[in-house]
């Protein structure tokens, strides 16, 4: 039986949404407050924006079988898109000057607690 491209896309989208939910729970356990989920702009999308004090974590969530595969899934082009979307979000924050920003990843792996990788890449 062939799976249509639409069904496959819906399956991956649902898996991604579940992964974002699991990642947000893991971050909340670590003391972060989830400010925004799936922040979309014309320049790019941010999966999660989390905050702890004056630290803002721009978080990319990857659901993969291994941590290595999750880390390899973030290309230089996707880093640029995430940075561009983060710049737009930050420009709209009234306390922008006090905030420190970090680009993180949460890898949602099968049958394991999510792995939070801090400072996955450096912004401009």
Mean pLDDT of the chain: 91
The domain in which residue 87 lies consists of 5-121
| pLDDT tens sequence across 45-74 | 999 999 999 999 999 999 999 999 999 999
Number of structural domains (the chain) is: 1
pLDDT above 70 covers a percentage of the chain that reads: 96
Position 1 pLDDT exceeds 60: no
Position 44 pLDDT exceeds 60: yes
Using CB atoms within 10 A of its CB, is residue 107 exposed (0-12), middle (13-18) or buried (19+)? buried
| pLDDT tens sequence across 86-106 | 999 999 998 888 999 999 999
Query: What are 90's two structure tokens?
Result: 């930050």
| Separation between Cα atoms, residue 55 and residue 48, nearest integer Å | 14
Query: What are 11's two structure tokens?
Result: 């399956």
Output the pLDDT for position 3. Answer: 62
CATH code for the domain of 27? 3.40.1350.10
């Amino acid at each position: 039986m062939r799976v249509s491209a639409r069904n496959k896309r819906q399956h991956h989208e649902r898996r991604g949404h579940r992964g974002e939910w699991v990642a947000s729970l893991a971050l909340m356990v670590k003391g972060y407050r989830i400010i925004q989920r799936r922040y979309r702009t014309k320049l790019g999308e941010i999966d999660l924006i989390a905050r702890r004090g004056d630290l803002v974590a721009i978080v990319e969530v990857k659901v993969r079988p291994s941590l290595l595969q999750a880390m390899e899934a973030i290309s230089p082009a996707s880093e640029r898109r995430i940075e561009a979307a983060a710049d737009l979000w930050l420009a709209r924050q009234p306390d922008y000057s006090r905030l420190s920003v970090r680009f993180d990843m949460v890898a949602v792996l099968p049958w394991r607690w999510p792995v939070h990788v801090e400072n996955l890449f450096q912004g401009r």
